[in-house]
């Protein structure tokens, strides 16, 4: 059987102990036994960014090639400060569009083709107006996208988030001007907290096919959940320690229909240490033997 494409979020900074910027990112991923990785191109909570020509892109590409990691499986996550679903504050929406354009260009510079984006929140606006604001925002940035696809992430429903159901994403895909430039990232914790029961993964798969289709699923965030089904909390748990469970996450990871789709761990550090090496070992070997906690 083909091996899954599995990695984790890794750091991307000058101070990374594994090396500067992108060199440190890929070396950190390799230390976990990963064959993909996800980065932020700068702090997710603010707009400070290092110029891309200082990030060691050439060395990054060389290390990827030496370790048979395909560039098409690398993920960038957009910062949380972008909210193009905001239908009530034009200034916030404008900032989100402008900054998203910059993030897209940074991905183009890096040669990374998948940019994961949180859809955003409606705040005091109506839900349908927020989805329409999201569509308008995606239309506004499409001209900047040459090779980059925006993968909208499924959300848990905390606060006034939008993008809780696969039907939401179908609505977006049906109404954007250039649907080929938009896709979906399935976050297992978020989906569980929004009401999708991974005890019945086959039913979730059927809903995917009846809404967005599996071709639009370009990455997964593989996380367990600290909270029960439909909690709308968004608190990630380490693999096998939460309410989704190890076996259910194995079913997603090793599903033949999605085996070539990159899957990223965003599970919590344990005693200030990353759990990813142990979690990747457990998931690849299909045995919950290396304890994280």
Binding site members for Zn(2+): 77, 118, 153, 187, 190, 221, 234, 236, 266
Backbone CA torsion sign across 19, 23, 24, 28: negative
Contact 261, 252 (CB under 8 A): no
Query: Which residue positions form the known binding site?
Result: 77, 118, 153, 187, 190, 221, 234, 236, 266
**Cβ atoms of 131 and 164 closer than 8 Å:** no
Is there a contact between 74 and 114 (Cβ–Cβ < 8 Å)?
Answer: yes
Give pairs for 138-142: CB < 8 Å, separation 24+: 138/84, 138/172, 138/176, 138/181, 138/182, 139/176, 139/177, 139/178, 140/84, 140/97, 141/97, 141/100, 141/101, 141/104, 142/176, 142/177, 142/178, 142/181
């Amino acid at each position: 059987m083909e091996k899954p494409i599995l990695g984790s979020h890794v750091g991307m900074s000058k101070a990374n102990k594994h090396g500067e910027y992108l060199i440190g990112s890929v070396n950190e991923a390799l230390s976990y036994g990963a064959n993909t990785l996800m980065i932020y191109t700068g702090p997710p909570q603010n707009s400070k960014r290092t110029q891309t020509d200082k990030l060691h892109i050439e060395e990054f590409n060389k290390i990827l090639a030496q370790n048979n990691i395909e560039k098409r499986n690398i993920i960038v996550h957009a910062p949380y400060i972008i909210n193009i679903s905001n239908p009530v504050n034009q200034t916030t929406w404008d900032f989100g569009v402008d900054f998203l354009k910059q993030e897209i260009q940074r991905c183009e510079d890096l040669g990374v083709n998948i940019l994961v984006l949180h859809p955003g929140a409606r705040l005091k606006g109506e839900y349908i107006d927020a989805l329409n604001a999201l569509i308008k925002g995606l239309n506004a940035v499409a001209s900047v996208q040459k090779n980059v696809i925006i993968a909208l992430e499924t959300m848990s429903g905390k606060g006034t988030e939008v993008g809780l159901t696969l039907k939401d994403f179908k609505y977006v895909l049906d109404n954007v001007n250039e649907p080929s430039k938009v896709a979906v990232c399935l976050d297992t914790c978020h989906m569980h907290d929004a009401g999708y029961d991974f005890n019945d993964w086959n039913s979730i798969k059927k809903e995917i096919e009846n809404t967005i289709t599996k071709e639009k699923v370009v990455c997964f965030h593989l996380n367990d959940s600290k909270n029960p089904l439909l909690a709308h909390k968004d608190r990630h748990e380490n693999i096998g320690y939460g309410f989704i469970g190890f076996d259910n996450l194995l079913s997603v990871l090793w599903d033949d229909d999605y085996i070539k789709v990159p899957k990223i761990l965003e599970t919590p550090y344990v005693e200030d240490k990353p759990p990813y090496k142990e979690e990747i070992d457990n998931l690849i070997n299909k045995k919950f033997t290396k304890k994280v906690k």
